[in-house]
Amino acid sequence: MASAFEYAPAPESRSVVDIAPSYGLFIDGEFVDAADGKVFKTVSPATEEVLAEVAQAGAEDVDRAVKAARKAFEKWSALPGSERAKYLFRIARIIQERSRELAVLETLDNGKPIKETRDADLPLVAAHFFYYAGWADKLDHAGYGANPRPLGVAGQVIPWNFPLLMLAWKIAPALATGNTVVLKPAETTPLSALFFADICRQAGLPKGVVNILPGYGATGAALVEHPDVNKVAFTGSTAVGKAIARSVAGTDKKVTLELGGKGANIVFDDAPIDQAVEGIVNGIFFNQGQVCCAGSRLLVQESIQDELLDSLKRRLSTLRLGDPLDKNTDIGAINSSEQLARITSLVDEGEAEGAERWTAACEIPSAGYWFAPTLFTNVTQAHRIARDEIFGPVLSVLSFRTPDEAVAKANNSQYGLSAGIWTEKGSRILAVANKLRAGVVWANTFNKFDPTSPFGGYKESGFGREGGRHGLEGYLDV
Amino acid sequence: MSESTRLNVFKTYKLYVGGKFPRSESGRVYEVTDSKGKWLANAPLSSRKDARDAVVAARKAFGGWAGATAYNRGQILYRVAEMLEGRRDQFVREVGEAEGLSKSKAAAVVDAAIDRWVWYAGWTDKIAQVVGGANPVAGPYFNLSTPEPTGVVTIVAPQDSSFLGLVSVIAPVIATGNTAVVIASEKSPLPALSLGEVLATSDLPGGVVNILSGKASEMGPHLAAHQDVNAIDLTGATDGGLARDLEIAAADNLKRVLRPRTEDFAESPGTDRMTAFLETKTVWHPTGSLGASGSSY
Amino acid sequence: MPTTAPAALAFADVTTSDSALRRFLHGLPGVDAVGLEARAASLGTRSIKTTAKAYAIDLAISMIDLTTLEGADTPGKVRALAAKAVNPDPTDRTTPKTAAVCVYPDMVATAKAAVAGSGVKVASVATAFPAGRAALPVKLADTADAIAAGADEIDMVIDRGAFLAGRYLEVFEQIAAIKAECGDRARLKVIFETGELSTYDNIRRASWLGMMAGADFIKTSTGKVAVNATPANTLLMLEAVRDFRAQTGVQIGVKPAGGIRNTKEAIKFLVLVNETVGEDWLDNHWFRFGASSLLNDLLMQRQKLATGRYSGPDYVTVD
């Protein structure tokens, strides 16, 4: 929006974080080189600047890390729960203390706005550890019988969209229940996990309880397939999730998968419109739409479609895209050139299929990976942009006439992770929520997260739940 | 005894699909013998098309069954127990023949199976309270997690425990609102096929349970790969690498998979056979304050 | 009905009866309190620095209705206030003037004389401020008296009792009557006392009621109750004027009043304006702050920006 009130740049200081030129793998409490000496570079997606060189774990390193975790498991699982709890409380506190540093780091490595890392990611990370810390000595009361046992070594593979938060979702419940962990962060965002290794050191966590192995897909596959891993937890694409499900077939490995989505955000004609517009914006443009539970399909009742779209476009025009470290930035960088290429190709396909594209006018920085907030109208269920997960700031708008039709369209997807309902009519919320085949339903809100609240999908969005009491189950032998 | 003067009327064992009793569309049957090898009956040798029809029936029944009140489901499961009790003698005989049990041992098995229906009948309206609940999120939101049925569940029923095992795997699946496509024990399918007759007279809507006799190795791969099946219970897939193969096929649409495990069906079952086929849905809604005179936070 | 406001004509059919008006007002989209407050809070995290801050501070100063509404007000107090409005910072003549001084009707003449020639307007509260508990003729007389004494702007209060009792048409007609009294001699600000209306749905309804009845400005509060202007209720009213203009083409001003005491808060309100209705409202013809102590904090911040040092209360005037 052109305005007389131009906000001067308000960048968060980079000096709060000290990134070393190179990082090793974190195995058995030490930073070590990869056995084959391989390294890769991690860049800032907003500037394409190389942030650091990171050791790339191979199969041999995976084996070493799993052995370290196995060795540590005996003592760690035998610790009284109250002692494990205190380690986790320590970790939660250290994260709170270092949250500004970690927020800046995450923004640098991921490209998401500092506003989000500061106000969403980091508070949720600390809260998650704090929440599961409290479970460690209360497992007898969790509803899984007396003295539920841990599984052993957990192999965990996490995505790049919420690097530290996904780490917290994986590691906190694993450690609280007495498992030890080998975690592979995504290749484009390894740094916060490596900083987390330092937090483990500060917390005095016993060696080998947490091992961090940066690497690409092959590293993840080696970890998941390692015969001495008892538990596999994966967050990422549905395609990889299926491959993992195949690879663990016939084993005793317990698996939880948190995969893709194509969330429907349903707006009825009696919705609180201004809040619905905010919810739609938050639903698809939070973290540049690189969110598995994004409300990427807007289902709007036909009678208010024009009015709602006008409001939505007006609102989108106020979004500020640019330097993720600027405290006023709403839309940061896309995480990688690969992801940008994927978004671009799906958007091109949307246009080719005849959907009508509207993109907010905003200046795109010359370096880095960017995609301006975009919406498509005249989209039908038959369009690929209405079915495939785009994982970017692209909203597909579809209309419906009746609640039945809204539910049918919302459920007409291979996915079943999230959905939104906007109406002032209480009974309609409950009726529609009841019929939606999705693991998380946000009514008159969207994209809310909390460590006490179970999260996870139906259908091809995966299985198992993370968060809450339910999140313990995936790490217990029950 | 009248046996010497009167010829028995044999029963034609048929499948139970969509509330009806069809023969296999393939027209095939196979010989079922008792534990000593004596001919008992010819059972339908179901084909992949029968399996497909069963999935269609199970899907069609899902909305109504999942949407029925938990109390109603409980009443119906209890009705199954009542109907079984009335046909107790028939099942004692069939189970005895199938599993080579003495009459008293077979009776104990049948009693346990009837009691299992009663156990799960009582669970229908309690499981949500036990595994669901309110989540105290840090914000002005009401947040509730409730369990919901996964959908259509394929069950490879236990091979040896042809009746108690069968009931022990079907009842928990449907108690929570799922619908089932069951592949009965290959060598001892008769109690399962007879159970279909009981279910049909217990107010259970057609299609909620569909029972197929035949080979798990033949139908299993199609059901495991079927894109409109949401979960698979591999309890009876104990043959060679069948369980692994089916689990691999099941990954195509990320079915929930319950792997085979050693299990004593005479023991108290617990809840994990129910929770294996439950999703958790979490619904958020703002609470806010009563008025605009202060912050909701 | 004595109204000639152009917007009122557009809504003639919904203002024919209490029931028609109720149907219209209750047909407005609902407000989700948590979502509204979250949006307001989120805009409150904007970081306004350096040049943007300097711009915002001057803009905020220029938007102040510098207010004294005390039983103990005297001509001397009002003259001092007026002097401050005209010349907020004696040490820096580049400081903008405030938009207006806001006083009780009996102080209008004094204020008018004190600001004469400066361009600073005189606003007067009226209609039995702050309770609004008087008969219409009294309210009209109160208004006429203020205008006669030279008031450029009238800040009326609505009858919250009538509103809460559902007598919307009565509230509408009172506003229209006061508007008719103002004619083109004074701009009319309509105060809802949002803290007494209590719910956001009521605030949205009152906003539309006021705008349809001919308000030139809609204003949150009197400053005399526990809850006055908040980011959330002001955001809601900004949404109302935005939607009203989209529907009728008529632009209405917004005035949060009471409780805005420092620069940081004032800038948050300007961010709300900027990102909700945009630059068309970033002008003291369309947006005001009803405040008194706010001005000194803005002046201290302004001095800090100019000198690089933190200022102190002894370096701004106390009136």
Select the residue of C34, C55, C275 nearest A318 (Cβ to Cβ): C275
Same domain? A92 vs A138: yes
Give the CATH number for residue A410.
3.40.309.10
| pLDDT given at position C2 | 42
Same domain for A21 and A41, yes or no, is: yes
Q: Count other C-beta atoms under 10 Å from residue C27's C-beta.
A: 10
pLDDT at res. A281:
98
Whole-angstrom Cα distance, residue A161 to residue A120? 13
Query: Residue A455 domain-assigned?
Result: no
Residues constituting chain C: 319
Q: How confident is the model at residue A384 (pLDDT cuts 50, 70, 90)?
A: very high
Which residues have CB under 8 Å from B229's CB, separation 6+?
B55, B151, B152, B153, B154, B181, B223, B253, B255
Contact B135 A444 (CB under 8 A): no
User: What's the rounded mean pLDDT across residues A340-348?
Assistant: 98
Q: Compare CB distances from B253 to A433, A440, A460 and report the shortest one's residue.
A: A460
Whether A441 and B279 lie within 8 Å, measured CB to CB: no
Portion 272-311 of C in contact with A at CB < 8 A: 274-275, 278-279, 282
**Which residues share a beta bridge with B148?**
B279
Alpha-helix residue ranges (DSSP H) falling in A121-216: 122-135, 163-176, 191-203
- On whether the CB atoms of residues A327 and A317 are closer than 8 A, the answer is no
CA distances from B69 to A261, B74, B120, B134, B176 (A): 29, 9, 15, 20, 10
Residues C275-314 have pLDDT tens digits of 999 999 999 999 999 999 999 999 999 999 999 999 999 9
Domain-embedded: residue A3 = no
Does residue B58 form part of some domain?
yes
How many structural domains comprise chain B? 1
DSSP, collapsed to helix, strand or coil, labels residue A268 as coil
CA torsion angle B75 B79 B85 B90 (round to 10): -150
On whether both A365 and A248 belong to a single domain, the answer is no
Is residue B100 less than 8 Å (CB to CB) from chain A?
no
Considering the domain boundaries, does residue A426 fall inside one?
yes
Q: What pTM does this model have?
A: 0.96
The CA distance from C287 to C234, in Å, is 11
Nearest CB partner across the interface for C52, out of A6, A115, A274: A6
* C32–A275 C-beta distance less than 8 A: yes
- B-facing residues of C in 117-136 (CB < 8 A) are none
Yes or no, beta carbons of A459 and B230 under 8 Å apart: yes
Statement to judge: residues A234 and A275 lie in one domain: no
Give B142's strand partners: B285
pLDDT at A280: 98
Number of other CB atoms surrounding residue B1 within 10 Å = 5
- Show Cβ contacts of residue C261 under 8 Å, excluding neighbours closer than 6 positions: C291, C293, C294, C297
Do B297 and C41 count as a contact with CB atoms less than 8 A apart?
yes
Quick check: is B161 in a domain? yes
What crossing angle do the helices spanning B103-123 and B88-99 adopt, rounded to 10°? 120
At A420, which helix (H) or strand (E)? strand A418-422
Q: How far is A70 from A90, CA to CA, in rounded Å?
A: 23
Say if residue A193 is in the same domain as residue A107.
yes
Say if C38 is an interface residue toward chain A (CB within 8 Å): yes
Task: Compute the distance between CA of residue A394 and CA of residue A459 in angstroms, rounded to an integer.
Answer: 23
**Chain C positions in Cβ-Cβ contact with residue A424 (cut-off 8 Å):** 29-30
- Same domain (yes/no): A433, A339: yes
Do the Cβ atoms of A374 and A280 come closer than 8 Å? Answer: no
Residue A20 pLDDT > 80: yes
Q: How far is it, in rounded angstroms, from Cα C77 to Cα A207?
A: 73
Q: B296 and chain C: CB distance < 8 Å anywhere?
A: yes
CATH homologous superfamily for C6-57+122-283?
Answer: Aldolase class I (3.20.20.70)
Predicted confidence at residue A266, as pLDDT, reads: 98
* Active-site entry in C155, C159, C201, C297: C155
Residues 261-290 of B with CB under 8 A from A: 272, 275, 279-286
Collapsing DSSP states into helix, strand and coil, what is residue B181? Answer: strand
Identify whether the C-beta of residue B26 lies closer than 8 Å to the C-beta of residue B50. Answer: yes
Is residue B85 one of the residues assigned to a domain? yes
Residue A281: closest CA among chain C residues belongs to which residue? Answer: C39
Task: Search chain A and give the residue with CA nearest B144.
Answer: A453
Same-domain check for residues A395 and A416: yes
Name the residue range of residue B93's domain: 13-27+40-286
Residue spans of the domains in chain C: they are 6-57+122-283
For position A3, what pLDDT does the model report? 59
A245 to B254: CB separation less than 8 angstroms, yes or no: yes
Whether A10 and C32 lie within 8 Å, measured CB to CB: no
Closest CA to C139 of C153, C150, C126: C126
How close A298 gets to chain C, by Cα (Å)?
18
Joined together, the tokens standing for residue B90 give 């028939």
In the residue annotation, C155 being an active-site residue is answered as yes
Q: Is residue B264 scored above 80 in pLDDT?
A: yes
Asked if B293 and C198 come within 8 Å (Cβ–Cβ), the reply is yes
**A59, A202: one domain:** yes
The span from the CA of A89 to the CA of C59, in Å, is: 47
- Domain span at residue A411 reads 264-443
Same domain, A285 and A224: no
CB B54 within 8 A of CB B228: no
Are A146 and A89 part of one and the same domain?
yes
Quote the minimal CA–CA distance from B137 to chain C in Å: 14
- Written as tens digits, the pLDDT of chain C (319 aa) is 344 455 666 788 999 999 999 999 999 999 999 999 999 999 999 999 999 999 999 999 999 999 999 999 999 999 999 999 999 999 999 999 999 999 999 999 999 999 999 999 999 999 999 999 999 999 999 999 999 999 999 999 999 999 999 999 999 999 999 999 999 999 999 999 999 999 999 999 999 999 999 999 999 999 999 999 999 999 999 999 999 999 999 999 999 999 999 999 999 999 999 999 999 999 999 999 999 999 999 999 999 999 999 999 999 998 7
Q: Could B252 and A468 be called an inter-chain contact, meaning their C-beta atoms sit closer than 8 Å? A: no
- Inter-chain touch C53–A8, beta carbons under 8 Å: yes
Helix (H) or strand (E) holding A359: strand A356-359
Which subunits have 3 or more CB–CB pairs within 8 Å of chain C?
A: A, B
Q: Annotated catalytic, C304?
A: no
**What residues in A contact C38, CB-CB < 8 Å?**
278
In three-state secondary structure terms, C214 is coil
B138: domain CATH number is 3.40.605.10
Phi, psi of C240 (to 5 degrees): -65, -45
- 3 state SS of C122: strand
| CA max distance for chain B | 92
| Domain presence at residue A404 | yes
Residue B8 lies in a domain: no
ipTM of the complex as predicted: 0.97
A107 and A198 part of one domain:
yes
Catalytic-residue membership of C219: yes
Of C52, C239, C274, the CB nearest to A274: C239
* Residues A282, A304 within the same domain: yes
Q: Provide the annotated active-site residues of A.
A: 258, 292
pLDDT tens per residue across span A36-49: 999 999 999 999 99
